[in-house]
């Protein structure tokens, strides 16, 4: 279950990055001072972080993904409600609702993945009786 949540959450981070890159490249956000470079940064980090989450499937990667995505969401809400760096966006902006849903789902799934890992950490695997976070014993000298 945790693996599915990691992969889905990572894919959602990549999707969020793709949305921001599309807005930067095709919709014209690249021409907005300060906001344009931030959109490109969000796109790049979203894709890289999404891939890191999928490949590593570790709690720290999920935590980074949650923090990054919450920062993106807060940035959007501030931009809509108050404006940011002299730019004010709207709830009806292109892809706003899609990005909002994708990012909220990413937070939920990555939080679930991390929670599942923390919950099972150190508990025995029912099939082997070995704690799930302990690597299998290696053959070595007797009396070790």
The model's pLDDT over 79-129, given as tens digits with 9 standing for 90+, comes to 999 999 999 999 999 999 999 999 999 999 999 999 999 987 655 555 555
CA gap 2, 23 in Å, rounded: 31
Instruction: Report CA dihedral (38, 64, 53, 10) to the nearest 10 degrees.
Output: -60
49: exposed, middle or buried (Cβ count in 10 Å: 0-12, 13-18, 19+): buried
CB neighbours (10 Å) of residue 13? Answer: 31
Residue 4's pLDDT is 96
pTM to 2 decimals?
A: 0.81
Whose CA is closest to 17, among 68, 84, 83? 68
Residue 134's pLDDT is 44
State what percent of residues in the chain have pLDDT above 90. 79
Instruction: Report CA dihedral (33, 39, 41, 43) to the nearest 10 degrees.
Output: -160
Segment 46-68 shows an average pLDDT of 97
């Amino acid at each position: 279950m945790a693996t599915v949540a990691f992969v889905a959450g990572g894919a959602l981070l990549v999707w969020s990055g793709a949305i921001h890159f599309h807005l930067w490249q095709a919709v014209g956000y690249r021409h907005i001072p300060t906001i344009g470079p931030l959109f490109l940064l969000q796109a790049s980090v979203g894709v890289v972080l999404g891939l890191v989450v999928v490949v590593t499937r570790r709690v720290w990667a999920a935590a980074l993904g949650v923090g990054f995505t919450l920062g993106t969401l807060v940035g959007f809400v501030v931009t809509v409600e108050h404006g940011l760096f002299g730019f004010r966006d709207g709830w009806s902006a292109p892809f706003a609702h899609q990005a909002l849903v994708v990012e909220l789902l990413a937070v939920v799934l990555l939080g679930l993945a991390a929670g599942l890992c923390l919950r099972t950490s150190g508990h025995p695997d029912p099939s082997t009786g070995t704690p799930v976070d302990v690597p299998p014993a290696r053959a070595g000298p007797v009396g070790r």
